[in-house]
Chain A
C-alpha cells in the first residue's frame, strides 16, 4: 500500500491542511485535480470492501474501531479503495459520518449494518444537501443546521423532525481484523429533496 494515495481536490485543499496545521504537512505533496465523474474511481460511490479514512488525514490511514471514540464525537470520513490507492473524495456525495454507540441500543437495519456499534451515515442531509454537523448523543439525533431536519441515529436514520422526506442513508460496515470495511452500498441513493 503506497504511503500517499491519490486524493482529489474536493477531499481537502492545501489551504485547509496548512490552516489546521496537521503536523506542518501541506497539500503540495498531493496529486493534481481529478475531475468529478462516476467513472473516475475517486468519484465512484463506496464499493464493497472499501476501507475508510478521515477526511483531514493526509496520510490516509485506514480507520479501525479504536479510531472512533464514541460519545459526543463523530468522525468525518471518505471511503478508500481497498488497495489504498484511491480516496473516493472526488464527490461530496461520498461524505460519511462515523458514529459509535452501544450496539445493544441499535434497532432495525442499523443493528445488522453496524460494526461493533460503529455506524456509517451519509454526511449530507437528504433535504437540501447540507453537511450534517450537529450530533446530540443523549437524544440520538443528527441535526442539520440549515433547515433543522433531524434523524435518529439508532434507528436507521429515521426522520425525527424537520423537512426531510426520507431517512438518512447509511452504509453497512463490517470488520476486517480491527479495520472498518464497507459491507454493502448505501441503503438508498444519495439525492436531495430540494
Chain B
C-alpha cells in the first residue's frame, strides 16, 4: 500500500473516514514508521489550528431564548427606530406637561423645575455654538414630531392621562434635584418613559447589579482599578452604547470613583450621527453620540495637524473627563470620573483591568 496523503490523514484524524477506510489506514500505519511520524505531526497541526481559531472566538454569552413564531425584528431595526422614539417621547412629554401647566393647575409651581430642562435645550450656548447639522436635522424633524406630540397632547388634556403626566413631572423634578437618591416611584408606567427621557448615562434604580449580570450585559468582564474595593455596580444607558456598566470603587474613605465600561452599539455610526444629533438638540446634558462625534473629529483634526480646529471643538465639552478620548479595551470603551484632577483620572484609566472573578 502506498503512503497516506495529507488529506486522508486529516480525514482520519477528524474521524471522517468510513470504518473500512479507517481500518486500511490503521493497517498501513502499523507497518510504516514514516506515516506514523506524519500522523503525529498532522495531529499537532490540527490541535494548533484549533487553538488559534479559539483565540478568535466571540465572547461566550448566555444562549438567548428561542421563540419560534414570535420573531422579533432584527436588532438593527430596533436601533434605527429607538432614538427617534426617544426624541418623540421627550417632545410628547414636554408638550404634555406644558398643556397641563397651561390649564392652570395647582401643581404648576411644583412641576416647573422639571419643565425647564426639557424645554431649555435648544437655547443653551452649547447648542448655539454647536453643530449646524444637528440643528438643521432637528428643525427638519420638528413638524413631524410636533404633529405626533400635538395629538398626544390633546389627549393629555383629558383627566386620566393628565394625572399621569403630573406624576412624571414630579419624578423628573426629584431626579433632577437628587440623582443619587431617586425618589420612590409610585406609578410603574411613567418609569418606563423616564428611562427613555433620561437616556443619558444614568444609573438605574435598585443599584445592586451583580457582577455576573454586568458580565452578561457587556459580554466581557467590566473593567476596574485593581485593588480598590467595589462599592456598587450599576447599569446605565447611554446613546451610542448597547451596554454601559458603572463600577463605583472607593479609593479611600471619602473618594469614590466611577469606572464606566461601555460597549458600542452595533449600529453604524452614520445612523447614530443623524438621529443622535436630533436627540442632542433636545437634551444638552446627554452624553450623546453627537458629542462623541465631535471628540472623534477633534482627534482626527489633531492627527492631521489642525490643532486650532481641535481646540475649538474641545472647548465645546463641558465635562473635563469628556475632553479625553475613552480608553479602549477589547470591545469596551472605558472612562473614569470622580473627584480627582483630570490627569489623576487619566492615570487611573491606564491601570484598569478586567475584574477578576
Indicate whether A and B interact.
Answer: no
